[in-house]
Chains A and B, each alone.
Chain A
Amino acid sequence: DARVTQTPRHKVTEMGQEVTMRCQPILGHNTVFWYRQTMMQGLELLAYFRNRAPLDDSGMPKDRFSAEMPDATLATLKIQPSEPRDSAVYFCASGLVRTGGAEQYFGPGTRLTVT
């Protein structure tokens, strides 16, 4: 049963520290998404990649967030420096985009707490 995996599942860090979250998409999927979920804002798209190329990162703060996909099996989301307002659950999702739409498969999320 293919799944999206994310590490770590939980992360507690102090303000100013660097945080790196990792995602392994489902093999064969050509699109990878990064989302952030909070009670106030709901589920927000931060960035996404198609065939490893970044397509849109307009949803994330450019000065502190960066997203990369060094190879087809790994996507990373980095926050440097982290701030308390970054506390949220970060989800990675992957999908096989084709004509007519594409469902997304979400990982279990990384719960980030910045103190």
Chain B
Amino acid sequence: SQKIEQNSEALNIQEGKTATLTCNYTNYSPAYLQWYRQDPGRGPVFLLLIRENEKEKRKERLKVTFDTTLKQSLFHITASQPADSATYLCALDMRSDYKLSFGAGTTVTVRA
């Protein structure tokens, strides 16, 4: 069956360090992959989209990589800040009319 796994439910890091989140998938051949941020009591907010033919994408302090051979995406938050504390969700499009399947999310807590 199709499966999306995000590493550990929670990640605690010190301010200024880099947070690295992992999204692994099996039995998928996604056309692209997206990352979203969700704060408590709010809807997910789009952060980045990376296509299957792209290796890396950056946006300010965020970086995403996409390895279709390993079936893995890495999401990095550099120079992390307490304001980066949130749950981060990866989502895959299965070439099926832009439907997204979401991972369970990783909750990041940045300590000051």
Name A's B-contacting residues (CB within 8 A).
4, 31, 33, 42-43, 45, 48, 50, 55-56, 91, 93, 95, 97, 100-109
Contact = CB atoms under 8 A, between A and B. Distances in A.
4 A-B pairs with least C-beta separation? A106-B43, A103-B46, A43-B102, A101-B32
A31 B46 contact: no
B10 interface: no
Contacts of A100: 32, 51
Nearest to A9: B41
Interface of B: 31-32, 34, 42-46, 49, 51, 89, 93, 97-105
A107 B45 CA distance: 9
A109 B43 contact: yes
B46 A104 contact: yes
B67 to A, nearest CB: 18
B49 A108 contact: no
A43 B97 contact: no
A103 B42 contact: no
B38 to A, nearest CB: 9
Contacts of B34: 101, 103-104
B98 A31 contact: yes
Contact of A42 (B31, B32, B42, B105): B105
